[in-house]
Amino acid sequence: MKKKPHILITNDDGILAPGIKHLWSALREIAEITVVAPLLEQSAAGLSITIRSPLRLESLDWPEGIKVWGVSGTPTDCVKLGLSVVVETRPDLIVSGINRGTNAGRNVLYSGTVAGVIEGVMNDIPGIAFSCSDFTHPDYQTAEKHIPKIVEYVLAHPLSKGTLLNVNFPSKDHTTIKGLKLTRQGKERWIENPDKRLHPMEGHTYYWLGAKIVECDEHEDSDISWLKKGYIAAVPVHVGELTDHLHLRERKIHFEQFMN
């Protein structure tokens, strides 16, 4: 019998969020699974790590009797502790989600969901991040149906070294999913929408940062464009090399001579 792949699951919505249970349910028949996720919601935590306070690692039981691990930190903390403390064998894949809300466009840079996968990629473990476009009523059931095939494809046809796959599912406004597109990352992002308030006891001003979507002029072959048409959008995001090589080639000598 062929050995099942070992998958480490994490998220940023928290260990009790419904999305992570749907992700586990989607993959439980095709893989051996370890779940390590934040004890509390860590949305928009990005790649942050906890270094000024201790981390708790707690063994928990889901209602199904499944043993999982909760971490009092960020998704990146979860993957770090997952790899160094929880698992005994190196995972074949790290899968994160299913996130409540979009991680398409430039939101990928803020996403704790994607960050958990990036941490894996930096340890040479490939990964996939899954998100639903709808924040209020995410359609986890539909996403769950498509996830196994995407994961099986990536396991059979490995991603390039340093690359993760960022997958977003379209809004429930589309009654049926038209297909899947391997595409490019778009530009749309959340920006601040500050709500200024007055502290009722101390009298000082404080703010809820708030958020609102900024729509951009999108390339027709981008995740944002395809999601609006009712397609699943999958973007190969390369994080293995961060250097702007064009700038380096064009400015290296001039910059160094100027500084010297």
Does 157 score more than 70 pLDDT? yes
Residue 196 burial class via C-beta count within 10 angstroms: exposed 0-12, middle 13-18, buried 19 and up: exposed
pLDDT at 176: 86
Does 1 score more than 70 pLDDT? no
- Model pLDDT for residues 82-119, shown as the tens digit of each residue: 999 999 999 999 999 999 999 999 999 999 999 999 99
Is residue 208, in this structure, part of any structural domain at all?
Answer: no
Is residue 49, in this structure, part of any structural domain at all?
Answer: yes
Does 2 score more than 80 pLDDT? no
Poorest-pLDDT segment among 7-11, 73-77, 173-177:
173-177
φ, ψ of residue 67 in degrees (nearest 5): -80, 125
Number of domains in the chain: 1
φ, ψ of residue 244 in degrees (nearest 5): -85, 95
Give the residue numbers spanning the domain of 153: 6-187+217-259
Is residue 198, in this structure, part of any structural domain at all?
Answer: no
Is residue 247, in this structure, part of any structural domain at all?
Answer: yes
Is residue 201, in this structure, part of any structural domain at all?
Answer: no
Confidence of residue 172 (pLDDT cuts 50, 70, 90): confident
Supply the CATH number for residue 175's domain: 3.40.1210.10
pLDDT at 85: 97
pLDDT at 168: 97
Is residue 206, in this structure, part of any structural domain at all?
Answer: no
pLDDT at 227: 95
- Model pLDDT for residues 187-227, shown as the tens digit of each residue: 887 777 788 888 888 888 988 887 777 787 878 989 999 99
pLDDT at 19: 97
Is residue 47, in this structure, part of any structural domain at all?
Answer: yes
